[in-house]
Structures are given as C-alpha cells and as structure tokens.
Amino acid sequence: MKILHTADWHIGRHFHNVSLLDDQRHVLDQLLEIIVAENVDAVIIAGDIYDRSVPPAEAVALLNDTLHTIVDDLKVPVIMIAGNHDGAVRLGFGAKQLTKAGLYISGPLTDQIKPVELSDAHGPICFYPLPYIDPATVRNVFDTEVQGFDEAMAFMTQRIAAYHQKHHANCRSVVIAHCFIAGGAASASERPLSVGGADQVNAAQFEKFNYTALGHLHQPQYKHEETIRYSGSLLKYSFSEVEKPKSVCLVDMDKNGDCDISEAALNPIRDMRVVEGELDAILAAGKTDAQKQDYLLVRLLDKHAILDPMGKLRTVYPNVLHLEKANLREFNDSSMLDYAALKKDRLQFFEDFYHQVAGDNLPEDQRTHIAHLIDSIEDQDVSK
C-alpha cells in the first residue's frame, strides 16, 4: 500500500499580516498531482489542519474543496486528526457520517480505540488515529492518573498496542499522532504545547508499530527509527525555516509491514528568504531577480540613516515582510545599563551612540563639528 503522509497544513494562516491562502492552494494542488502521479492508496493528515480553532470561511472552503477532490474525485481515503491548533469538536463535525464516504476524522479524544481498516492485496492495515492530547484530557477521558505528556502518550500507545495484539495481531499497524518527540528539531512556527520541555514524549514507545505518522514539528525529520516520522508542514511558516524545503512523505508498505519511504517536494509560488546587504546593492540586484515575489526578511547593513527603507525595497520586492538593521541589533544586544557610562560627558555619549548605530568610531572632522555644536548649545543653556 502506498500512503501519502502530510501534516501541519495550518490553512488560514497569516504571516506578518499577509494571508497565505493562495500559497496554500498552490501547494495543495501539487499535493493532488502527487496523489495521482504516485498512485497513492491512502492520505494521512497528522493534525493542525487549520491554523485556528475557529478558522475563517475561506479556509473552510479550501479544505472542503481539497478533501472533496481527494475522497470523491480521486477515490482515495483520507485519515486526519485534530492538532493543537484545531478545534477538535468543530473539526470532528459529521465524522461518523463521513466514514461511509472514505473520510476519517479524529476530533476529540474518546475512550474507544477503533482502527480505520484499509486493505491492499496482502490484507488489511490498521490505522490508529490519535488526536492531539494533553495529560488532563487523558485523565478525564480514561479516569487515570497520568502525569505529563510522556506518560499520557505512553498510556495511549500501550492501549493501542494491547488492542491491536488482541484483535488484529496479524495485521500491519500505523499510528497517527500530533506531539513533540524528544530530541526533535523545532522551528519558530510551532506553538509550544507547554513550557520548559515538559511537552516532549519518548520516541521508543512508537517502535511497536510499522509506521508512525507524526505532526507538530514543521521540519521533515524522523526520530529513533526511520518509520517514526514527521512529514513537516505544507509551507515555511517562519523565517527560521528558510533553508529547509518542504515535502510530503510517500510510504510504500509491503506485506510484512516494512516501509520504503521517500519524500516528494512541495514547491511554493513564493519562497521565503533572508536577503542581507546594503540598500543600494539589494535594490540593484532585485531588478534582475526572477523571484521578486518571494516573502523576504531584509537585513540592511548600511551604517547611515535611511528614509523609508521599506517603501524603497517594496518598489522592487513587493513582499518584503520584515526589516532588520544589523548594526541596530548589536545595540539591542548590549543595552545593559553601564553605571560608568553615566559619568561620561555629552561628547562621549554621542561618540558611544555613533559607535552603536554605525559600528565604527566617529571620524575626527565630525567629532570636531559635534564638539562645537555641543559647546554652542551649552552656552545657550547658561545664558538662559
């Protein structure tokens, strides 16, 4: 069976106040092409379908169209779970009815463990969809005393493994979960599940399953074993991800449950990039840049003040979203109050200020000029 594993669509997300809906539609069209080209038998979406628990209407419409094409037109079943961004109850609307059509939605956690069974020529594969859970939810639903995310997930995976052993011991198994695997590489675009690393769960608890389709971490990666895997998000959702292209996982499972795994790239209309340099050089290079529409973070290295740098950059790069002045960043990093500095005179204060902003010493001619200026101001003060 060939399974397409994807996650973290975050449909409806905004980035620096720009809607990413067109970008999301573009890569979802590619995802549809991959399903056809690769003869995919089943699609897994491992949580964070929407970006918010109450998604905007256009986001609902885009998901509706996409699922309709996959399930109804292409006749490929979809199994999806609620992530920490989704409103589990809302996502699960109509779930029981939709199973008849081949759409399996796991909304809120229930005490029923019931796999989705899909078959290929070698027999059935049991898919166990587990929505995003926190320890309090597991305590409430199962009347147990689990503490922490790792214990809560271990409780669930042990229950699933025991159920599978009892009812489907000869079937292959896939678990779908939304969690932070300990040691995984995070990006700046995941919302923390709890503070201080207490949200991390051990990867080894998933080794009893033939494949584990994970969501939450936005970089494609695997932990512990190649079959315990994050597909990564649909798009780059932060400037921390500029170097990491996005993809979906294609999992070809054989009759023994062994998996041959590959990645299919997702190519956005607008990439996300960081551009660094002096304003004039950036503007000149931008004129021949084939990717002018990309979402940019610009890091300006100019030492002098510039009037309306954002306006100037946007004449060439319309989607500059964030601007940093590298020299001003140093200033911010070393802004601890230094009591010795308070004893300096006005000229020394200005020299320090110049050094922080320009990253260089005040030239002698300008120093003389400023000294005269300060003198004349101080003379006026005295005359009052």
Tell me which residue has its CB nearest to Mn ion: 48
- Sign of the four-CA dihedral 377, 380, 382, 384: negative
The CA–CA distances, whole Å, from 226 to 38, 162, 172, 185, 230 equal 21, 23, 17, 15, 10
Q: Which is nearer to Mn ion, 193 or 320 (CB)?
A: 193
The nearest distance, CB 217 to Mn ion, in angstroms, is 8
The CA–CA distances, whole Å, from 339 to 331, 345, 349, 352 equal 17, 13, 13, 14
The nearest distance, CB 351 to Mn ion, in angstroms, is 48
The nearest distance, CB 52 to Mn ion, in angstroms, is 12
CB 81 within 8 A of CB 215: yes
The nearest distance, CB 10 to Mn ion, in angstroms, is 6
- Contact region for Mn ion (CB under 5 A) — 7-15, 161-169, 293-301, 351-359? 7-15
The CA–CA distances, whole Å, from 262 to 4, 208, 231 equal 10, 21, 10
Residue holding tokens 């399903």?
35
Number of residues that bind Mn ion (CB under 5 A): 2
Give the Cα separation of 131 and 127 in Å (integer).
Answer: 13
Give the Cα separation of 91 and 358 in Å (integer).
Answer: 52
Q: Which is nearer to Mn ion, 48 or 199 (CB)?
A: 48
Q: Which is nearer to Mn ion, 8 or 41 (CB)?
A: 8
Question: Considering only residues 8, 41, 51, 199, which one is a binding residue for Mn ion as defined by CB under 5 A?
Answer: 8
Give the Cα separation of 31 and 50 in Å (integer).
Answer: 17
The nearest distance, CB 228 to Mn ion, in angstroms, is 18
The nearest distance, CB 333 to Mn ion, in angstroms, is 30
- Contact region for Mn ion (CB under 5 A) — 4-12, 34-42, 245-253, 322-330? 4-12
- Contact region for Mn ion (CB under 5 A) — 41-49, 155-163, 272-280, 371-379? 41-49
Q: Which is nearer to Mn ion, 142 or 222 (CB)?
A: 222
Which alpha helices (H) appear in 68-145, and where do they start and end? 88-91, 95-98, 135-142
Q: Which of 164, 1, 9 is nearest to 86 (CA)?
A: 9
Give the Cα separation of 12 and 22 in Å (integer).
Answer: 10
The nearest distance, CB 365 to Mn ion, in angstroms, is 55
The answer to whether 241 contacts Mn ion (rule: CB under 5 A) is no
CB 178 within 8 A of CB 132: yes
The answer to whether 48 contacts Mn ion (rule: CB under 5 A) is yes
Q: Which is nearer to Mn ion, 11 or 70 (CB)?
A: 11
The nearest distance, CB 215 to Mn ion, in angstroms, is 7
Q: Which is nearer to Mn ion, 164 or 178 (CB)?
A: 178
- Contact region for Mn ion (CB under 5 A) — 48-56, 142-150, 159-167, 320-328? 48-56
Q: Which of 165, 172, 161, 76 is nearest to 117 (CA)?
A: 172
Q: Which of 18, 9, 8, 13 is nearest to 319 (CA)?
A: 18
The nearest distance, CB 185 to Mn ion, in angstroms, is 14
The answer to whether 199 contacts Mn ion (rule: CB under 5 A) is no
The nearest distance, CB 190 to Mn ion, in angstroms, is 5
Q: Which is nearer to Mn ion, 41 or 199 (CB)?
A: 199
Question: What is the x/- site pattern for Mn ion, positions 295-334, by CB under 5 A?
Answer: ----------------------------------------
Q: Which is nearer to Mn ion, 106 or 173 (CB)?
A: 106
- Contact region for Mn ion (CB under 5 A) — 3-11, 245-253, 345-353, 357-365? 3-11
Task: Render 56-89 in DSSP notation, one character per residue.
Answer: -HHHHHHHHHHHIIIIIIS---EEEE--SSS-HH
Q: Which of 303, 301, 290 is nearest to 323 (CA)?
A: 301
Helix (H, G, I), strand (E, B), or coil: what is residue 335?
A: coil
Q: Which is nearer to Mn ion, 137 or 238 (CB)?
A: 238
- Sign of the four-CA dihedral 129, 51, 267, 21: positive
User: Which residues sit at the interface with Mn ion, rule CB under 5 A?
Assistant: 8, 48
